[in-house]
Amino acid sequence: MLTGSPFLFARRQREGDESRAIEQKVLGVEVYAHAGRSKAAAYARKRVCPVRDWAPHDLRRTARTLLAELGCPFEVGEAILAHTLPDVAGVYNLAGYEAQKIEWLGKLGEYLDALAASHNVASMNKRAA
């Protein structure tokens, strides 16, 4: 994360340009290239992310699935991903769900923190045994 940016994957700020997130496609290309899957000569010696069969879009899919499992309302989950609601609902429902997005992203964060903490405890217990 770049300092002062509200985004996890922020792009570098240029003179007179407001900070924005890196587009998913750009991030996906970089993950692909740095995972050693790219045949481009520019990435031949830049293998720093040895992850196979994964793309940044998988984070969106995982977050959406976990939100649904936690009980997040459909409309709020879709708004978090910046999806347009389908059919007539997308035309007439222009709500941004800002407060609900903050609430549910907080719940998702707490769930992931608890999951990570329990995994770390389990890992430490395995090493100690």
* Structure confidence by residue, pLDDT tens digits, 12-24: 666 655 656 667 6
Average pLDDT on 93-110 reads 90
Q: What pLDDT sits at residue 1?
A: 35
Between 77 and 28, where is the model more confident?
A: 77
Cβ–Cβ under 8 Å, residues 72 and 89: no
Helices (H), 1-129: 24-34, 57-70, 74-80, 87-92, 98-128
pLDDT at 59: 85
Question: What mean pLDDT is reported for the chain?
Answer: 77
> pLDDT value at position 3?
45
Q: Is the pLDDT of residue 80 over 70?
A: yes
CA distances from 65 to 20, 60, 61 (A): 26, 9, 6
Q: pLDDT (tens digit, 9 = 90+) per residue, 28-62?
A: 777 777 777 777 787 777 766 666 777 778 888 99
